[in-house]
Structure 1
Amino acid sequence: MAASALWGSRPKTRGVVLDLIRAARTISRVELAASAGLTPPTISEVVRDLMSDGLVVEAGRGASTGGKPPTLLQLNALARYSVGIQLERNTCVIVVVDLAGRQVARTSFRGTAQMSPEKALPFLAAQVNAILDTAAVGRDRVLGVGLVSYGPQDRHAGLLLTPQPTDAWYEYPVAPRLAEILRMPVLLDNDAAAAAIGEYWLGTVDPHSTYGCIYMATGIGGGVVVAGEVYRGSSSNSVEIGHISLDVDGGECPCGNRGCLENYAGPSAVVRQALEMPGLADHLALDPTGTDFLTEFARIAAAANAGNLQARHLIERSARYLGCAAVTITSLFDLDLIVLAGPSFAVAGSIYQTLIQQEVDRRTFARRAHPVRVVPSVSGSDAAAIGGAVLVLQSELVLGRARVAAGKALSLVLPVVEATEAT
């Protein structure tokens, strides 16, 4: 007998249904059929499959509309977990999230900028194992690891395509090597793209919205999400707003461009500008030879919040430059929302939000057609790490990249890494 069209596309159908249950929190089979555009028998079959795998459970009865009260369904959030790692020059964050994207454990530590990848990745793996042990999460319930970092990168091969923080990291197979050490799947992605998709998964944006994310840690990145999917471009190195040129005659950037936004508005640029103000630099005890730009930037931002006029001037100038970039991506993608995420927005986020909103309101091309809101990320400084974990959940469960098997860790069928299943 020929295979039916339904079961030929079974992973995709499962993913659609699972995502609807996730987004609704609780939903009946009748509502699922209407939302998914599938027949009630098909929904019953898919739901039975998901319940058999332990991913969905019944959650009591809904309100009656005249007949028998419907049985409600919800995710079994504790059935599966994923790990997100934000790999930054100055700091690293590791989170564990459940199937609903809720954070169940977190740790952070100084970045691996001074380590070679041969030393840094075993250290990261040890931290992952430690946090899973602390959270009492068995490896058999972990779908994989989302490793997110700056670009450019070859997402499919799991390589960083930048000699930062040192030449040793250039083209180093970070994802395959970490997967080999951990013996679980590892997906490499851009930190800004991860932060952007995390907002969608956690239900903080309209699922039909076209929105952007400006991510600022040591550098500046961007991401755009359309109907729940990250805009990737041809190599998943899209929306790099930190490298939009603001001055064709500006200084050369390590990326090869000139006059990049990051060199005017990024945390390292703000620190350099502060060091040129002896009074401010001495007052804040800034280190002219230091490389921990996140910590130094946080001091400047805190001083700006406390009323220091020099510090306030630097932060506001950075915010206006970022406002210019926000106008650019809003006009390019016709966005209706911009999310500000990352550790560098954590201290002075209100200043940035206010000034970026002003620039968008005044200068966006489609401002007469619809408003564009600028809002802080619900995940704050951990947005990229949480988003990395969410990307694993989305790849495994929603996009149908792998078959869910109860009690087994999954191998990503993305060409990111061919990892051996955890045992």
Structure 2
Amino acid sequence: MATSPIWASRPRTRGLVLDLIRAARTISRVELATATGLTGATISEVVRELMGDGLVVEAGRGASTGGKPRTLVQLNRLARYSVGVQLERNICVIVVVDLAGRPVARTSFQGVAAMPPEQALPRVAAQVDALLATAAVDRDKVLGVGLVSYGPQDRRAGVLLTPQPTDQWLRHPVAGRLAETLGLPVLLDNDAAAAAIGEYWMGAVDPGSTYGCIYMATGIGGGVVVAGEVYRGSSSNSVEIGHISIDVNGDQCPCGNIGCLENYAGPAALVRQAIATPGLAQRLALDPASADFLTEFARIAAAANAGDPAARSLVEQSARYIGCAAVTMASLFDVDRIVLAGTSFAVAGSIYQTVIQQEVDRRTFIKRAHPVRVVPSVNGSDAAAIGGAVLVLQSELTPAHSRPDDGVPPAPAGTGEAP
């Protein structure tokens, strides 16, 4: 576990300055003072402290503006690391990122969904250990692990509030057990929220913007980010876009709602629809008995991309349904951008992006005030895993982002202290 002073409680000023340095890539002390409104002396003191901890280094001098060129500072990217673990129904993705949130190592494997948590979590821990060793990352520099998965969740208790993939996972202390095995703090969060914040950390969006993320892997989720902060709601189970009703006369979803989006537009739904389409299942060699919906969906997406009329019709219909959800997101949160993230969007992104953008342009209430752009995630199919690692960096290094209505982020399991 990391033992440097940044793991302990820090002044908000320190986190604010560090976040500005991260976002700017390189910046002078004078520019930091201007951006924060703090005195030059205070900025110099904070920067000196950050440099003493090894988090910030000098990066040469900027262009002269008539006087002495200003000395620039930047993050020391190799000073700290974090790990992101995306625990999906069909796949587990693990990434290691540096202090700037840039991936330095990655692995993925299948089979976790078929295991009870007592067997699956030690396997995940072994893969994390192996990846850190392969990347030659000093564990003393690892801040923690962001474990991201589907909801609903109890973030503070570190448990899933859903019997998926099996009943054994319901209320199992996934964060605590993984922390005990790894000897590293573990922070549980929603995969869609993680994917959303990853866009902010990687500089893909304006720091002051309000944007949404629709996340699709095995299921469909959503997240909204306001000025660099994930919108949490009262229990951090907000923006579950896959469980909004798009058919008031539809079938009941296991979540309790009627006609949920996920049951019409998600990968599992498309696989069912493809199997029911005469000739399509045989043509694409779909396996009706397979529970690996990501692989089966990828075959449908590949056929759609290649111009198969039946496959493309199914994907476009899914995209129109998700376009309806995107319109709802834009109307509720007044977003200026909607990011499409996750494995399933990565394999059929161009079709989804085009159709969803058309629906948003045609139907969004706010279109007279400003456009709403639909864009792919900069983090591709690993958006959730990278976002999980970023959430650890954000919660530990930039406490200035704590929301008053969400309180201080929960202590990662295994630390015994609030960040």
Q: TM-score range by the shorter chain?
A: over 0.9
Describe the shift of the 1:400–1:373 C-alpha distance in structure 2 as closer, same or farther (beyond 3 A): closer
Name the CA distance, whole Å, in 1 between partners of 2:411 and 2:33: 33
Corresponding position of 1:398? 398
* One-letter code aligned to 2:238: S
Residue 279 of structure 1 corresponds to which residue in structure 2? 279
Is the counterpart of residue 70 in structure 1 residue 70 in structure 2?
yes
Q: Which residue number corresponds to residue 405 of structure 1?
A: none
Mapped to 1, the partners of 2:170 and 2:385 lie a distance apart of 22
**What corresponds to 1:213 in structure 2?**
213
Name 1:364's counterpart in structure 2: 364
TM-aligned CA distance change 1:259 to 1:92, over 3 Å:
same
Q: Which amino acid aligns with 2:410?
A: L
- How many angstroms apart in 2 are the aligned matches of 1:83 and 1:155? 17
- For 1:419 and 1:224, the matched residues in 2 are separated by 28
> In the alignment, which residue of structure 2 is the partner of 1:406?
none
User: What does residue 15 of structure 1 align with?
Assistant: 15
Q: Contact (CA 8 Å) 1:185, 1:419: kept in 2 or not?
A: yes
The answer on 1:419 being equivalent to 2:415 is: yes
- Relative distance call for 1:115 and 1:10 in structure 2 (3 A) is closer
Q: Tell me how far 1:249 sits from its aligned partner.
A: 1.8
Counterpart of 1:333?
Answer: 333
- Residue in structure 2 matched with residue 350 of structure 1 by the alignment: 350
Which residue in 2 is equivalent to 1:160?
A: 160
The amino acid across from 1:106 in the alignment is R
Aligned counterpart, 1:3: none
Specify whether residues 355 and 336 from structure 1 end up closer, same or farther in structure 2 by C-alpha distance, changes over 3 A only.
same
In structure 2, the residue matched to 1:373 is 373
Distance 1:10 1:46 in 2: 11
- In the alignment, does 2:141 pair up with 1:141? yes
The equivalent of 2:201 in structure 1 is 201
The CA distance in 1 between the partners of 2:122 and 2:110, in whole Å, is 15
In 2, Cα distance between equivalents of 1:215 and 1:293? 16
Encode CA deviations 1:220-258: one digit per residue, 9 max, x unaligned. 000000000000000000000000011122101111111
The 2-side partners of 1:258 and 1:62 are apart by: 59
Deviations, residues 318-365 of structure 1 (Å, cap 9, x unaligned): 000000000000000001000000000111100000000000001000
Q: Is the 8 A contact 1:107 1:131 kept in 2?
A: yes
Counterpart of 1:261, as a letter, is: L
**2: CA distance, partners of 1:201 / 1:401:** 12
Supply the distance in 2 between the matched residues of 1:235 and 1:254 (Cα, whole angstroms): 20
Q: Offset at 1:62?
A: 1.0
Distance 1:237 1:413, change over 3 A: closer
Q: CA deviation at 1:134?
A: 0.2
Q: For 1:113, what is the secondary structure of its paired residue?
A: helix
Divergent runs of 4+, >4 A:
none
Whichever residue aligns with residue 228 of structure 2, its letter is G
- Structure 1 401/327 Cα, relative in aligned 2: closer, same or farther at 3 Å? closer
- Return closer, same or farther for 1:39/1:241 CA change in 2, 3 Å cut-off: same
CA contact (8 A) 2:194 2:387 kept: yes
Task: Kindly indicate whether the alpha-carbon contact (under 8 Å) linking 2:186 and 2:414 is maintained by their aligned counterparts in 1.
Answer: no
Q: Which amino acid aligns with 1:133?
A: A
The correspondence of residues 167-186 of structure 1 with structure 2, limited to 5 A, is 167-186=167-186
Residue 6 of structure 1 is matched in structure 2 by none
Q: Distance in 1 between matches of 2:160 and 2:10?
A: 34
- For 2:27 and 2:125, the matched residues in 1 are separated by 38
Counterpart residue identity of residue 40, structure 1: G
Rounded Cα–Cα distance in structure 2 between residues aligned with 1:413 and 1:180: 20
When residues 23 and 331 of structure 1 are mapped into structure 2, their CA distance, relative to the original with a 3 A threshold, is same
- Deviation (angstroms), 1:414: 2.5
Deviation at residue 416 of structure 1 after TM alignment: 4.2
TM-score (norm 1): 0.94
Q: Kindly report which structure 2 residues correspond to 1:204-283, keeping only aligned pairs within 5 A, or say none.
A: 204-283=204-283
Corresponding position of 1:4:
none
Task: Tell whether the 8 Å contact from 2:197 to 2:391 is kept in structure 1 after alignment.
Answer: yes
Distance 1:337 1:111, change over 3 A: farther
Deviations 1:252-274 (A, max 9, x none): 11111110000000000000001
Contact 1:157–1:416 under 8 Å retained in 2: no
> Cα 1:171–1:204, aligned 2, differ >3 Å: closer, same or farther?
same
Q: Distance in 1 between matches of 2:312 and 2:84?
A: 34
Structure 2 alignment gaps of length 5 or more: 1-8, 403-407
Report the Cα offset of residue 419 of structure 1.
Answer: 2.9
The alpha carbon displacement at 1:68 in A equals 1.5
Matched letter for residue 31 of structure 2: E
Letter in 2 for 1:377: S
Q: Per-residue CA shift, 1:261-293, capped at 9, x if unaligned?
A: 000000000000011013000111111111000
Deviation at 1:41, TM superposition (A): 0.7
Where 1:278 maps in the other structure, the secondary structure is coil
AA of the residue aligned to 2:278: P
User: Could you tell me which residue of structure 2 aligns to residue 298 of structure 1?
Assistant: 298
- Equivalent residue for 1:92? 92
Match of 2:84, SS state, is strand
Aligned equivalents of 1:195, 1:331: Cα separation in 2: 21
User: Cα deviation per residue 1:190-227 (whole Å; 9 max; x = unaligned)?
Assistant: 00000000000000111111000000000000000000
Single out whichever of 117-126 and 244-253 deviates more from structure 2: 244-253
Give CA-to-partner distance per residue, 1:7-55, whole Å, 9 cap, x none. xx95211110001000111000000000011111110111011001000
Which runs of 5 or more structure 1 residues have no equivalent in the other structure? 1-8, 403-411
